[in-house]
Copies of this chain bind each other. A is one copy, B any other.
């Protein structure tokens, strides 16, 4: 039964970190604060990858930009996958840890801004909805692939999944 957050008891965390629980509680007022600190650092790392990628493609057309964004999503998910899995699958959206939501919000807002800058290349009109569809699809594909299907990340083609995800999103965004 116990897994994720609950497997990480404060005593175990302290032992693993090589300090006593007493010391641990001098730096973090509660287990919740400790988890928040870990989660926020992780999310900051991820957002840096996302922001850098979006800045990099800001001037690039959607047709080539999406590929870069997909690659960035894979890179982001490959960054400490075990931690990412626990945080994304076990963080309650309600309750004291709900503050992690802004990460998704910002990524969504940034992607929407990029799409709006390139709206003349796109088929869709509701760019908020389009950004939601792209974000969710890319996130799910890379997330699932990194955690459960590492085989599709390095196949006969160099990166089959990245190619497919790019196809998926471009076929959706661009006019046919």
Contact = CB atoms under 8 A, between A and B. Distances in A.
A64 interface: no
Contact of A126 (B95, B126, B148, B160): B160
Interface residues of A, number: 39
Chain A binding surface, main DSSP class: helix
Interface string A140-159: 11001001110010000000
A4 interface: yes
Contact of A136 (B6, B129, B144, B171): B144
A129 B157 CA distance: 12
Contact of A1 (B96, B132, B152, B160): B96
A147 to B, nearest CB: 8
A90 B126 CA distance: 33
Interface of A: 1, 3-6, 31-32, 35, 89-90, 92-96, 126, 129-130, 132-133, 136-137, 139-141, 144, 147-149, 152, 160-161, 164-165, 167-168, 171-172, 176
